[in-house]
Structure 1
Amino acid sequence: MKRYIIGIDLGGTNIKAGIYDFDFIAVKEISTPTEAAKGPLHVLERIREAVRLITVEADISLDLVAGMGIGVPGLLDPVAGISFFSPNFPGWEQVHVVDEMKRFYDFPIFIDNDVRGNLYGEWQQGAGRGYNNLVLITLGTGLGSGIVNNGKVIYGTSYSAGEIGHMNMYRNGRPCKCGSSGCLGRYVSALGMVNTFKEKLKEGRTSMIQTWTNDQEEQITALMISEAYELGDALSMEVMRETGTILGFGLANVVNLLNPDLIIVGGGMAAAGDKLLQPVRETVSQHALKLSGSKCEIVQASLGSRAGTIGAASYAYGKLKEAE
C-alpha cells in the first residue's frame, strides 16, 4: 500500500502545504492564508484546513498518511513539540503545536524551525544533495540560517544554533530587534539593502527608482533595486555590490568557523542571482582562509518557495526512519 508524507511551511502571511510520496514527488501543493492576527488556535485550525484541502484534492485518505512535518518560524523545542515564540504571530507563546494537532490525527507529527525546514529541503532534495558539510542562509526580511556538519543538522543547547544573521559586523551599527546592534542581517536582508539605499539617497545620491516611486521612499523595495540594476542604475549597482560584499565578509567568517564545502543562498533575495552572489564569492575568496575558502562553493538555492514544504516532509520522513 502506497504511503504519503505531508509537509507544512507556516508563514506569517500564507501556509504552504504539500503531500508527497516517499520519493518526494509532489502529489498536491497549495498555499492558503494564515490569518495570523486571529490567534494561535485559529492558525492551528488553518493548518488543519490546509491538510484537509491537500488530502481531499489529492484524493488521499488520512489512513495513507505516514506522518507530517511542520516548519514553524521562531524559537521552539522540536523534541517537546512546543513553539515558544514566533514573530509576526500575535499571542503566539508556549504553543503546544504537536499536542494540539495530535488531537485530530493518528499519524506522527513533528515540528522544527522554518529555516531548518528549508535546510532539510535543499540538503536532501535540492542544491545540497550529496553534501555532508553545508550551510543554508535565507535572505528575506531577515537572515535565517541552518547548518549541516558531518551529515548532521546542528541544533545547539536551546535548538537555536546557526543564528548567522546576528553575527556582529559593526561595533556601533544599526540597532537590531535582538537587542544588539550591527548584526549581519540588518545589512544584507531585503530590508537591510533597502535601508542602505535610503541612506545613500539622504546623502544626496540619485536613482531612477525615485521616479518610479514619485520620491516616496517607503515604496522602495529590494526588487526595485534589482530591476534598476539591470537597467544600469549606478546607485542600485553600488548598493547591490555593497550588500554582497558585506554578506561575503560574514560568510568568510562562516567558512573559517565551520569549513563547509557548500553554502546555499535562498529566500527572496536569492532571485538576484549573480548580481548579489558574485561580490559574495569574490569577498569570501579574498578574506576566508585560503584552504577553507578554496573548498567551499557558494550557490543559489534550487527549490525556491517549495523548499519549506518539501523540507518539512523530508524532516518528518527522517524522524519516522529513525523510529523504525
Structure 2
Amino acid sequence: MGKWMIGVDLGGTRIKAALFDQAFEPVQELIHPTEAAYGPEHVLGRIFHAINELLTLAGGLPGDMLCIGLGIPGLLDRERGVSIFSPNLPGWEQIEVVRAIRTRFDVPVFIDNDVRMNMYGEWRFGAGQGYRNLLLVTVGTGLGSGIVSDGSVLYGTTSSAGEIGHMNMYREGRPCRCGSSGCLGRYVSAVGMVNTLIERMKEGGTSVIQQWVRGDVSQIEAQMLSLAYDEGDALAIEVMHDTGTLLGVGLANVINLLNPQRIIIGGGVSSAGDRLLNSVRESVNKRSLKLSGEACDIVQARLGSRAGTIGAAAYAYDQVRKLRQ
C-alpha cells in the first residue's frame, strides 16, 4: 500500500501541489505556472509533471502513492471525475481529469471544487477543527464558499451549493458572467474592491494609491488598499469599510439560512484581516437574527495557501478509506 497522499490545487495562473505523509505532514511542496492559455492537454501535462516532480524530490515511485486529490475551479461531476467547465481555464470543458490521471499513475484519484477543498483543509487541520456547522468563504479573484452542515459537506442537487458570490445584492448592479447583475462577488472580491476604488476616484475621491500608480488605474491591485489603509488614507478606509459591510449583509443572510457556528474567511483578500473583518462583524451583528448571530463567530483562515493542497489530499484519503470499509 502506498504511503503518501498528493494534493493538487489547480488555479488559473498557478498549480500548487504537495506530497504528504500519513500524518499529513508535508514532505514536498511546489508551485508551477498553470500556462492555461496553451489549452487543457497542456494543463494536464503540467499536473503530470508536478506529480512526477514531487515523487522525484521525495525519492519515491508512483507505487508509493496512496491517492491523489485535486481541487479544480468551476463546475464538475465528482462521481464521473469530470471537470465540466472552469471559467479561468480556456477550452476547459468536459475534461475527464480522473481518467487522465489514473491512466498515467494507476492510483485512486478524486476531484472536487477548489473552494470545497480549501474548506476541507481548514475543517480538518485549520480554523474549522471540531466544528460541525461551518462555512469557509474565500475572497480572492472571485467569491465562493464551502459549507459543512451537521458534520457533512453540503453539495446540493448539482454540487453547486455555496455559490455565495452569486447572491443578488442589487436589482441592477455590475454585470456578472453568470448572466445576472448585482452579484455579491462583483463587489466583494479583489477585482470588485479595485473597481469600487476606481469608481470612487472617478466621482472625485482621491487616494495615495493614485500617486503610487502614477495615475494609471490599470496598475491598481487589491493589496494596495491595505497598505493605504494603514497610512490612514480616507478613501481606502472607506472602500474597505463598505466592502466589509456588504459582505456582512450577505453573511447575515447565510447565518439566518444555515445557522453555522463559525464562518472562516480565506482567500487572498483575507490577508486584510481586521481591516475588513471588523466591518463584516459589525454588519452581521446589525442584520442577523440575534440567536443565530450570537452563536456564530467570524475568523480569518489559518492555513493560507496550503489549505487547498492539504484539503485535496485529505479528501482523497477519506474517499479511499470509505471505499475500503
TM-score with structure 2 length normalisation?
A: 0.98
Give distance in 2, aligned partners of 1:32 and 1:200.
36
One-letter code aligned to 1:127: A
Aligned to 2:312: 312
Give distance in 2, aligned partners of 1:81 and 1:207.
48
Aligned to 1:60: 60
Aligned to 2:230: 230
Q: Could you list the structure 1 runs, at least 4 aligned residues long, displaced by more than 4 angstroms after superposition.
A: none
Q: Is the 8 A contact 2:2 2:63 kept in 1?
A: no
One-letter code aligned to 2:185: G
Give distance in 2, aligned partners of 1:171 and 1:232.
33
Helix, strand or coil at the partner of 1:214: coil
Helix, strand or coil at the partner of 2:206: coil
- Give the C-alpha shift of residue 2 in structure 1: 7.0
Aligned-residue sequence identity (percent) comes to: 60
Give distance in 2, aligned partners of 1:209 and 1:32.
31
Aligned to 2:220: 220
Give distance in 2, aligned partners of 1:35 and 1:323.
34
Which structure 1 residue ranges, 5 or more long, are not aligned? none
Give distance in 1, aligned partners of 2:269 and 2:91.
29
- Give the C-alpha shift of residue 100 in structure 1: 1.1
One-letter code aligned to 2:86: S
Aligned to 2:96: 96
Aligned to 1:196: 196
1:1-324 equivalences under 5 Å are 3-324=3-324
One-letter code aligned to 1:64: D
TM-score with structure 1 length normalisation?
A: 0.98
Deviations 1:48-95 (A, max 9, x none): 100011111011222121100011111000110001111121111110
Give distance in 2, aligned partners of 1:295 and 1:241.
24
Aligned length, in residue pairs: 324
Give distance in 1, aligned partners of 2:307 and 2:51.
18
Give distance in 1, aligned partners of 2:213 and 2:67.
47
Give distance in 2, aligned partners of 1:2 and 1:262.
35
Which structure 2 residue ranges, 5 or more long, are not aligned? none
- Give the C-alpha shift of residue 177 in structure 1: 0.7
One-letter code aligned to 1:141: T
One-letter code aligned to 1:35: E
Give distance in 2, aligned partners of 1:78 and 1:37.
25
Helix, strand or coil at the partner of 2:104: coil
Give distance in 2, aligned partners of 1:317 and 1:100.
19
Helix, strand or coil at the partner of 2:236: helix
One-letter code aligned to 2:246: I
